[in-house]
Amino acid sequence: MAQLWGGRFTKETDQLVYNFNASISFDQKFYKQDIEGSKAHVIMLAKQGILTEEEKNIIIDGLEGILRDVETGIIQISSKYEDIHSFVEATLIERIGEPGKKLHTGRSRNDQVALDMKLYTRLEVLYMDELVKELLEILLKIMEDNTDTFMPGFTHLQKAQPITLAHHMGAYFEMFKRDRLRLKDIYQRMNYCPLGSGALAGTTYPLDRDYSAQLLGFTGPTLNSMDSVSDRDYIIEFLSAMSTIMMHLSRFSEEIIIWNSNEYQFVELDDAYSTGSSIMPQKKNPDIAELVRGKTGRVYGALMSVLTIMKGLPLAYNKDMQEDKELTFDAIDTVKGCLLLFTGMLRTMKFNKAIMAKSAMNGFTNATDAADYLVNHGVAFRDAHSIVGQLVLYCLEKNITLEDMTLEEYKTINPVFDETIYEAISLESCVNKRLTIGAPSKKAMNQVILKHKEYLNKD
Ligand code: ARG
């Protein structure tokens, strides 16, 4: 047991209490941020004349030495310390003696941990954004290659109207683009520096908080010291954004699982991204997609946990907040892993275009277009809807499609039909006559693809 706060105590901490309280097993993850924050603090203290230049230089050298030695494995972060802050400070004092004891001047572990977590999370928001961007790039590539790849669009998982693969992928492009916007937004809102807030009420030292904020790349200092040490909103926002990313990945995974099934066969997963069965030799399972879908629950769980931890906490710092870390770290690692694997799976996946087009032809996905055809020939939409309903019934009885019907058969049901019906209900027309922006026609898709390209180039 190595603690920073023994002075007031007459008894040793019970070992079980110590273990229960300690956070080093997980907060060692931000040793780099802890040292980075300490360096900025010391540079600021020296600028304000609270430390001498010489003291500052010795401390900075000491901190940099610790960083180097941790990274090269010369020293191990030992669990005999309560948390990462204690480890760094105690090691510093061990190595440089007296000046090391001045590091914590005008600082509390409460503003220190608030800073470390923010620095760590801030970086992860950027990594996450890069991974989502890579996924968007793959999606855009699939879109560009597939503006002519017809497939059925679904509602209620029933074939509804024909679309293209480009259009379907475009829906996911929108979702993941919004995810990036959310991350950007979170970054901007969280980017204020809590350092200098002390335990809760600031400090009597003449700290220059603007300066430390600037040294650490923040927009500025936070403006209320009590909120600074007890704000975990940005963690909740990040967990919420990550939950939304996972929800999108999970929906996409679900579709890939369906498309990969024997019944659909719309896609073929690359051997490197699927797994076999130990008993059934014919199997090629979409385990990656299933795991992504499953892990979504874990990330939602982290969000619910942190929300619940924070609920009802009085101001300012409470030890409950230490619980944010394992949950957040786990969620970050999970989402990053899922994004990476999902992107790889998508990049290597093959689309069975012929099967997709054939599927779009069966199932009356052109029924709406047949109704629109009648409307264009002067029939009211409600009547047209009913006439096409009769057509569908007729086809179902004879086990044929609308394309298979002869003109005589059409005319028997309604005389308005002429030979132009076949062109009107072809897959090609059904898709490419939908010209409004956001619709699946090649023309509309190309306009959207252009916008997406511009967006990815500048952001
Ligand atoms: N390990 C603590 C946390 O993660 C650091 C802050 C400790 N502060 C305190 N007053 N006990 O929240």
Rounded Cα distance between 403 and 390, Å, is 15
Report the atom number in ligand 1 closest to the C-alpha of 117: 4
Phi/psi class of residue 304: alpha, beta or left (left: φ > 0; alpha: ψ in -120 to 50)?
A: alpha
Q: Name the band, by pLDDT with cuts 50, 70 and 90, for residue 280.
A: confident
CA 207 to centroid of ligand 1, rounded, Å: 22
CA distances from 234 to 33, 63, 81, 122, 430 (A): 17, 28, 28, 9, 46
Is there a catalytic annotation at residue 277? yes
Is there a catalytic annotation at residue 156? yes
**Which CATH number is correct for 363-458, 3.30.465.10, 3.40.50.2000, 3.30.1330.10, 1.10.40.30?**
1.10.40.30
Domains 6-105 and 110-205+218-358 in one fold: no
Based on C-alpha coordinates, what's the Rg of the chain? Answer: 31
Do residues 162 and 154 lie in contact, with contact meaning Cβ atoms separated by under 8 Å?
Answer: no
Q: Which of 24, 118, 231, 322 to mutate to test the pocket of ligand 1 (most atoms within 8 A of CB)?
A: 322
Question: pLDDT tens digit string along 137-173?
Answer: 999 999 999 999 999 999 999 999 999 999 999 999 9
C-beta 322 within 6 A of ligand 1: yes
How is residue 363 written in tokens? 């199932």
Share of the chain above pLDDT 90, in %: 93
Q: What is the pTM of this model?
A: 0.95
C-beta 109 within 6 A of ligand 1: yes
Phi/psi class of residue 363: alpha, beta or left (left: φ > 0; alpha: ψ in -120 to 50)?
A: left
Question: pLDDT tens digit string along 66-120?
Answer: 999 999 999 999 989 999 999 999 999 999 999 999 999 999 999 999 999 999 9
Question: Is the per-residue pLDDT at 1 higher than 80?
Answer: no
Do residues 60 and 66 lie in contact, with contact meaning Cβ atoms separated by under 8 Å?
Answer: no
Q: Where are the domains of the chain?
A: 6-105, 110-205+218-358, 363-458
Superfamily holding 6-105: Fumarase/aspartase (N-terminal domain) (1.10.275.10)
Rounded Cα distance between 248 and 287, Å, is 17
C-beta 321 within 6 A of ligand 1: yes
CA 397 to centroid of ligand 1, rounded, Å: 72
Do residues 194 and 97 lie in contact, with contact meaning Cβ atoms separated by under 8 Å?
Answer: no
- In CATH terms, is domain 110-205+218-358 a member of 1.20.1250.20? no
**25, 79, 261, 277: which is the annotated catalytic residue?**
277
Phi, psi of 320 (to 5 degrees): -50, -35
Task: Write down the ipTM of this complex.
Answer: 0.96
Output the pLDDT for position 275.
82
CA 218 to centroid of ligand 1, rounded, Å: 22
Question: pLDDT tens digit string along 346-376?
Answer: 999 999 999 999 999 989 999 999 999 999 9
Give strand pairing partners of 81: 2
Distance of CA 384 to the CA centre of its chain: 45
Question: Is the per-residue pLDDT at 4 higher than 80?
Answer: no
C-beta 274 within 6 A of ligand 1: no
CA 336 to centroid of ligand 1, rounded, Å: 27
Question: pLDDT tens digit string along 331-345?
Answer: 999 999 999 999 999
CA pseudo-torsion sign 40, 45, 48, 54? negative
Q: In this structure, what is the dihedral angle of CA atoms 79, 85, 86, 92, given to the nearest 10 degrees?
A: 110
